Structure 1
Amino acid sequence: MQRAALFRGGDAQMAAGDLGELLVPYMPTIRVPKSGDRVYKTECAFSYDSPDSEGGLYVCMNTFLGFGREHIERHYRKTGQCVFLHLKRHVIQKVPGASGGALPKRRNAKLFLDLEISSDLNSDDFEYEDEAKLVIFPDHYEISLPNIEELPALVTIACDALLSAKSPYRKQEPDSWEEELQASKHAKTLVQLDNGVRIPPSGWKCSKCDLRENLWLNLTDGSVLCGKWFFDGSGGNGHAMEHYKETGYPLAVKLGTITPDGADVYSFDEEEPVLDPHIAKHLAHFGIDMLQMQVTENGLRDNDIKPRVSEWEVIQEAGVKLKPMYGPGYTGMKNLGNSCYLNAVMQAIFSIPEFQRAYVGNLPRIFDYSPLDPTQDFNTQMAKLGHGLLSGQYSKPPMKSELIEQVMKEEHKPQHNGISPRMFKAFISKGHPEFSSNRQQDAQEFFLHLINLVERNPVGSENPSDVFRFLVEERTQCCQSRKVRYTERVDYIMQLPVAMEAATNKDELIAYELKRREAEAARRPLPELVRAKIPFSACLQAFSEPSNVEDFWSSALQAKSAGVKTSRFASFPEYLVVQIKKFTFGLDWIPKKLDVSIDMPDFLDISHLRARGLQPGEEELPDIAPPIVIPDDPKGIYSLDIDESSVMQLAEMGFPLEACRKAVYYTGNLGAEVAFNWIIAHMEEPDFAEPLVIPAFGEVASSGAAALGAVGLDNQPPEEMVAIIISMGFQRNLAIQALKATNNNLERALEWIFSHPDPEEESDPSLDTMDMENNANANILAETGSEGPRIKDGPGRYELFGFISHMGTSTMSGHYVCHLRKEGRWVIYNDLRVCASERPPKDLGYIYFYHRIPS
């Protein structure tokens, strides 16, 4: 028996008949992948090594985890697993005389699914060759595959099952659906109305709202309506779906995707993307000639929606030749299909030294103490991502042509440019109804979700998210008695309103709006966009101005009264994150984006917003709780004032009426926006649309409270209500006490808290039990025990070092790009593309990152 040293390049062959004997001691550890097993054969659990990498990828035959050559020994030492399947893709020079011009040939293509073909190679000269071997540790015995006659049957079956297993990320890959599209059952018999409708080649908009993106043409009656959340991840207001429910017309094609080769077609009846073999005929009925149509990036034709195209061009710095950047800190991230929000946020996060030290600086310790399945460990995946972005290992400049030619004569060693964060996204979004989807998301919401996970997974003595934490002092004043109350809460983002009334170019805006309406009426190209120019000082002023407190209960008057609230910084964070509140709702509750330009400063001083506390001459509101009205209803069901205007706003968005009533009730009449978030979190539950049943005093709702995650111990408050109160900056125990004292009425609980700002000294054992059981759900904004919140206070002077910009009309669609200032110059991170920025559009950003200037 001979051995081949894997890392020494040996290629010796074992004697026939010895393989079975060699594998006998390891047979109990070799498993056949079953349904539900995740097989990681395209990516290392600790790095971004793959079968394309120089050392290939090792897949454990017991756990099915993949490891690069640098990390395989760690897994062997930790688990004792000895048998691995080594996967390697080679790029070799074609044999002279081989046919040229075709795509690179893949030998043994079934061995590697979801591996992308490098676009850097000349397919006329090079081809792929995939190789698989069994490797036995610790002596690195190699057994080449296939070797069916000599291997035990179990080993052969296990290897075949592993090689043919589907990617664990298949559900995240939108492109995977393309192979599975089936012809619609309605395509052959589709009835088209002779209503004279003709669709113009451009200038489309939804016939029920003003949206100009994600538009769908109904192939029965020619209606042009906006979509909701279809397979391409775009967003809309769901008018296309509403039209189907009203008419039953089943097929729609997405405008902007029509080419001579086909189009994106969706079947409302079959609830999936489909093929329409007769699409050319169906489009011709409405005057559309497929041969004349061309698809463009983002589904927009060149002459479509010039204002939006302009925004895309400005933010992405299109039309300017940008110099690519390579090396440590200049690594791009692949867009997995509407994952640009994640890419932009993570690039900004790992530009911060505290996060670099916490994860990349502690990488050896994090990896060594990772659980047996490191793909399901937050700190491991954060360290992996941080190292991938900062090491420079996956951001290398292209080799010079003569060097490439010299290397290619032997074997091509691929350059890794950019990383694909599939494993990171799969873990960080697990269990979240939105981030686990392929739909576009709000970068601000993802930032807070990430901070939540950082808080819940400590990585060392200091939490890196502390650099964002700050205390907000809220001063509430009774307008009648003039008495005040001061409270504090923790926050991570400064949200600045857009002061539209302060626009400095109002005359230009009025003139543009008139021209735009005239152009739409005459079906002419739209005029060049004029954006509202808003002074940053006006936004800062709007942030500091008092706001009205609805339904304010004055403890001085023992009655409801008018109240106003002002917010100030009780502490200034090390890093100040500023969100421009560009996304809002119109009068018809249709989400829209304020397309504005704000002169964001490079240097920011907010020292004048420092909180001052109770001032001489001010009198505090008495510490008196509002009265609790206990209903007298023997049946256990009583009426409650529900904000019907919020209910109707939600119902007009297409949600079931009873679900809207439940959402408004369980969020304490805090408004349609909060209720909308409740709906999104609970819309998949079986009792989502069932009638609202309100419990009597001392009882728990059978459906509603269960839907909120309530714990059935001593009538504990619903966990989601607790989370809502914690998100406002109050301690968890205080939130639970308030809800218990007010029969789980969120609105009254908040009033109770304002009249009881200090939690009780004594601890309720049941609260401690519940807190331990629900620790995973504890909100990041909760203060940490008697020591108070963790803050890094200092001067309120800052310098801009990064910003995230959004293109599109809604957070549910569009694209995100990140700009960061590194080594004295601005750099644009546009997914995989990392370049030196020439014209950073600082006035069009959505989220800004400032670093404190040392005093």
Structure 2
Amino acid sequence: MLELPSDIPSTIPANAKIYKDDCMYSFDTPENNEFGLDIDLKSYFAYSRNATHNYTRDNYEKTGNYLYLNINKVLKPESERKKIYDENGEKSTKLQKLEIKDIDENELYNVEYTVYDIKQDKSYRLDELSDPFRKLIDQILTSNSSHQQDEIKQWELEIIPCHHSIDIQQETSSKEIDLTKCSVCELKENLWICLHCGALGCGRQQFGSNLKGNGHALNHYEITGHPVAVKLGSLSSDNEDSCDVYCYACNDEVKVPKLSEKLFKFGIDLKSQVKTEKSLIELNIYQNLNWDFKLEGANGEKLKPVYGKGYTGFQNLGNSCYLNSVLQSLFSLDNYQQFFSNLSSELNTSSIKNPSEDLSNQLIKIYDGLWSGRYSKPSLISANKGDDYQLGLKPVSFKTLIGENHAEFKTQRQQDAFEFLLYLLDKLDQEFGLTLNQSLKFLFANKTICANCQHGSIQSELIDNLSIPIKHEVIGKDEDGKKLYEQVNLIESIRDYCDTEGIEGYKCDHCKVPSGLAIKSGGFKTYPDVLVVSVQRIILENWVPIKIDVPIEIPYEIDLGEFKEPIFEGDEVEVEQKDEEEEVSGSSSDNKFKPNEEALSTLLSMGFPEPRCLKGLYHGNNNAEDAMNWIFAHMDDIDIDEPFNPDVQTSSAATTTDSGPSQDSIDNLVGMGFSTQLAKKALILNNNDINLAVEWLFSNPDDDGVIEISTETTTSKAVVNLAAEHKALKQKLLQSTATTSQTKYKLKSVICHKGTSPHTGHYVVFIRKHIEGKDKWILYNDEKVVICEDENLQDIKSNGYVYIFEKI
């Protein structure tokens, strides 16, 4: 009988996390690893023993902890697995109104639990443990895992009560309610009951779903003003918080306190209800996972799965396809593979306190998962469904860690892949300096000329992407009434982006015209080794943000030679510019403004160009938060990117008393029903672009309108060093010239999106690789990794969103 050692707690401490999903340093799990997973009985960290490395032994040598709970899952025989699927209705063709059942994947495995003593290299069955020891093991097994805790926390961030659902005034009625069909169209599914009066109506047809609906519940709200309704098919005795409740006034899912009491007034006993339809969250996830990115060829044949190093997929964690696509794109780049290969060889596990909270370790883990090839093999579970796809990696710890301080990325909502890419690049710069992403950075030059006197300047900005508007000319509609757009060319869109444009209200320091016209144009001063281009597919239509499926010709190769930095021509005169460093610091004996270095570092790390940072600090009390607000309020100033000179800070940008966005823009948003404070924040966060502000407002209905700035990194040496690196890289690039740079690029990957908004629908990525003797497209659709022939690339044309090019 194995007794519980005195140095191992007999119960799990409060708030402890139990890591029992995968290894702290690899994606080895109880399912995919021959030796299962070892959970340290002191730290509750998980380790594995695989063919290439014994992480359990590493931990033992580091800590001396020698007892581990081992969990090993072996797939049941095929005959038993098929029986489980049949019993759970996976292949049933019956209509709804049957109780919805989900298959617990653990049902598909024979699970063995033992205690492993690494000192003796011996395993003990649970019946060989003392009672206190067995009780501890039972407690570990029944506790939520770290992944489950993270997912629960993320889902809890999603749905909260609104002021309509908190104070529902219910009407009494003697009329008996027929709960079997819509009171208007007699539809018998997708039924919603008004919590104010008990009226029953059908919901709207869910986009991308076969669930029918004619919107009569919405019509009822429009007639009566009763905003809150609950979906009958989602009612369950298990948990009233899992029921679907919708507020038509807020246009969002909400919670209703004491829902069971309010339903009981209409004769519905929640305790006796059985769930018969998927919830809105489940429908959203189902649509996300099953969006129609074709996995069949032009002739209907199934696209060929591919396996091996570099062909490993990610599981979708609910709404994480945006994250999956971005990671696949970045780790397909040679410099990412080389960087993390080198980093992994230098990894010292003894110095890492908690591997799940160490970004470097999580990225090395992802690199190993994608490029080791150990996890890229057909799944027997998928075979039960007639597929032969992989199980895929589950990057739960990485998702939790990378999004923990971000209001949106820490939730389970679908997110914009391009926004996440920019956020991730910034995080990687902060973690590793510019070494990793230097190949993406380049100088883009903007020339501004006064139309009156022909004097002007050229300012170069260090950036790592281009966001390009595209034309959207409607040429007709399809049989379903969906708009059809004329195909565009990416090079033409870049040409339009760099072309000259007039800017009204320009104040020229040379001719002193108070409100004149400026001519602005742009071009590349330097060319990056890797170029990221996003196309702006979101526009406002009747004040509603919609996504336009404009077909874009696939740009296999592009030449950016025509978009070199603009020069002064003819009668144009370049205004002499002082050296920025001289303007900022001056001599030690003068009284010129000197910026707060920590505040400057913080603003630079957030991606603001240096002239804006200096001006913001000059006008913002040398404080990072005040400076940020000043910068956001003056984004549209024509001289915002002119070199900073404290002696001439009397321009419109410096003397204006405007403390924020224009009142007209604020009034427009307030007129749409948003508060003044929330309208201001939306405009500030989106550079006073009212279209983007509206999209942000619809994506953040619960935001309180308060603008905060994190000060956690202001004293970080890494951030200070990053600011210095930005300055050094800019100086280095300024010494190079666009004329001597290679300007031709080949397309490496395309992140594609299907859906009506970047925050709904589904993301995948197509990556160009050399396979079977020639270049082919590989489609990464979460865990589904398949070869896509050239005749099956319509999705790239219609849904391409982020393009990544490599210099030839």
TM-score (norm 1): 0.65
From 532, 536, 540, the equivalent of 1:581 is 536
Instruction: Say whether the 8 Å CA contact 2:74–2:111 is kept in structure 1.
Output: yes
Equivalent residue in structure 2 for 1:35, among 3, 7, 14: 14
Q: Which amino acid aligns with 1:380?
A: N
Q: Does residue 797 of structure 2 align to residue 852 of structure 1?
A: no
Q: Give a deviation string over 1:157-185, Cα, whole Å, max 9, x none.
A: 5434322221223355479989x99xx99
CA distance in 2, matches of 1:774, 1:821: 35
User: 1:390, 1:35 → 2: CA distance?
Assistant: 38
Identity in percent = 22
Matched, 1:671 2:689: yes
Q: Which whole-Å CA distance do the structure 2 matches of 1:400 and 1:315 have between them?
A: 18
User: Are 1:76 and 2:95 an aligned pair?
Assistant: no
- Displacement after TM superposition at 1:31 (Å): 7.3
Mapped partners of 2:220, 2:438: distance in 1 = 45
Cross-structure match for 1:499? 471
For 2:166 and 2:151, how far apart are their aligned partners in 1?
25
1:144: which partner in 2? 125
Change (3 A) 1:612 1:543: closer
Summarize deviations over 1:18-49 as a string: whole Å, max 9, x none. Answer: 746xx35xx1x657433322211111111111
SS of residue paired to 1:101: helix
SS in 1 for 2:22: coil
What is the aligned partner in structure 2 of residue 109 from structure 1? none
SS of the equivalent of 2:484 reads: coil
**Structure 2 counterpart of 1:124:** none
1:131 aligns with 2:148: no
- Give the aligned residue type for 1:775: V
User: Using a 3 Å threshold, how does the CA distance of structure 1 residues 826 and 45 change in structure 2: closer, same or farther?
Assistant: same
Give the 3 Å change call, closer, same or farther, for CA 561–225 of structure 1 in structure 2. Answer: farther
Aligned partners of 2:319 and 2:405: how far apart in 1? 18
Structure 2 CA distance for aligned equivalents of residues 363 and 357 of structure 1: 10
Does the 8 A contact of 1:544 with 1:567 survive in 2? yes
- The residue aligned with 1:532 is 486
Q: Give the partner amino acid of 2:528.
A: P
Q: Which residue of 2 aligns with 1:373?
A: 354
CA shift, 1:554, in A, is: 2.1
Query: Distance in 1 between the 2:374 and 2:398 partners?
Result: 18
Letter in 1 for 2:414: Q
Judged with a 3 Å threshold, the aligned counterparts in structure 2 of structure 1 residues 415 and 599 are, in CA distance, closer, same or farther, namely closer
Q: Which residue of 2 aligns with 1:606?
A: 560
The equivalent of 2:760 in structure 1 is: 813
**Which amino acid in 2 is paired with 1:77?**
E
Which residue in 2 is equivalent to 1:266?
Answer: 245
In 2: Cα distance, 1:391 partner to 1:775 partner: 33
Alignment match, 2:781: 830
- Residue 848 of structure 1, CA deviation: 1.2
Question: 2:768 is matched by which residue type in structure 1?
Answer: R
CA distance in 2, matches of 1:480, 1:31: 82
- Corresponding letter in the other structure for 2:324: N
Counterpart mapping for 1:148-547 below 5 A: 149=130, 153=132, 155=133, 158-170=136-148, 173=151, 198=184, 247-253=225-231, 265-266=244-245, 268=247, 271=255, 312-313=292-293, 319-368=300-349, 371-397=352-378, 417-458=391-432, 463-500=435-472, 503=473, 508-509=475-476, 512=477, 526-527=480-481, 530-547=484-501
1:291-332: CA deviations, max 9, x gaps?
9999999959x9x9xxx9999356986954111111111111
Corresponding letter in the other structure for 2:495: Q
| Superimposed CA distance per residue, residues 111-166 of structure 1 (whole angstroms, 9 cap, x where no aligned partner) | xxx996279x6xxxxx623313142x43434443255536xx4x555434322221
1:648 aligns with 2:602: no
Letter in 2 for 1:56: G
Question: Which sections of structure 1, spanning at least 5 residues, go unmatched?
Answer: 1-15, 106-113, 122-126, 205-214, 229-238, 285-289, 405-413, 517-524, 633-637, 691-703, 712-718, 720-769
SS in 1 for 2:30: coil
Matches within 5 A, 1:701-740: 707-709=708-710
Which deviations, in whole Å up to 9, do the C-alpha atoms of 1:604-624 show, x marking residues without a partner? 111111115455753134667
**Contact 1:88 / 1:131 at 8 angstroms: preserved in 2?**
yes
Distance 1:439 1:400, change over 3 A: closer
Measured at CA, do residues 222 and 486 of structure 1 come closer, stay the same or move farther in structure 2, by a change above 3 Å? farther
- The one-letter code matched in structure 2 to 1:609 is F
Query: Aligned partner of 1:128: which letter?
Result: N
1:595 counterpart = 2:577: no
* Residues 58-99 of structure 1, C-alpha deviations (whole Å, 9 max, x = no match): 1122222111112112222333333322222244569x9x99
Q: Deviation per CA, 1:447-491, whole angstroms, max 9, x where unpaired?
A: 1111112111128xx722122111111111222222111111111
Post-superposition CA distance 1:388-433 (Å, at most 9, x none)? 11111111246899xx9xxxxxxxxx99631111111111111111
Q: Which letter maps to 2:690? A: A
The 1:331–1:364 alpha-carbon spacing in structure 2 relative to 1, beyond 3 Å, is: same
Cα deviation, residue 656, structure 1: 2.1
The whole-number CA distance in structure 1 between the counterparts of 2:313 and 2:301 is 19
Q: Distance in 1 between matches of 2:737 and 2:104?
A: 45
Contact map agreement 2:244 2:280 (CA 8 A) in 1: no
> Displacement, 1:803?
0.6
What residue in structure 2 maps to residue 799 of structure 1?
746
* CA–CA distance in structure 2, aligned partners of residues 792 and 46 of structure 1: 44
Q: CA deviation at 1:494?
A: 1.9
For residue 752 of structure 2, give the secondary structure of its aligned residue in structure 1. strand
Q: Give the SS at the match of 1:344.
A: helix
SS in 1 for 2:480: coil
Residues 434 and 441 of structure 1 are in contact (CA less than 8 Å); yes or no, is this contact kept in structure 2? yes
Tell me, yes or no, if the aligned pair for 2:331 and 2:337 is still in contact at 8 Å.
yes
CA spacing shift, 1:709–1:547, aligned 2, 3 Å: farther
**Please, which of 499, 504, 507 is the counterpart of residue 553 of structure 1?**
507
What is the rounded CA distance, in whole Å, between the counterparts of 1:252 and 1:478 in structure 2?
Answer: 60
Instruction: Pick one of 29, 41, 46 that aligns with 2:25.
Output: 46
Aligned to 2:616: none
Q: Which amino acid aligns with 2:119?
A: P
Does structure 1 retain, via aligned residues, the 8 Å contact 2:660–2:680? no
Displacement of 1:644 after TM fit? 2.0
Distance 1:201 1:89 in 2: 45
Specify the SS of the correspondent of 1:362. Answer: helix
- 1:48/1:292 CA distance change after superposition, 3 Å: closer
CA drift of 1:639 comes to 7.6
CA distance in 2, matches of 1:104, 1:201: 29
Contact 2:389 2:783 (8 Å CA) reproduced? no
- For structure 2, the residue ranges without an aligned partner over 5 or more in a row are 88-101, 160-164, 207-216, 248-252, 269-273, 578-644
How far, CA to CA, are the matches of 1:242 and 1:771 in structure 2? Answer: 56
- 1:552 deviates by 3.4
Aligned-pair RMSD on alpha carbons?
A: 5.6
TM normalised by structure 2 equals 0.68
User: CA–CA distance in 2 between the matches of 1:54 and 1:480?
Assistant: 76
Aligned 8 A contact 2:747 2:803 in 1:
yes
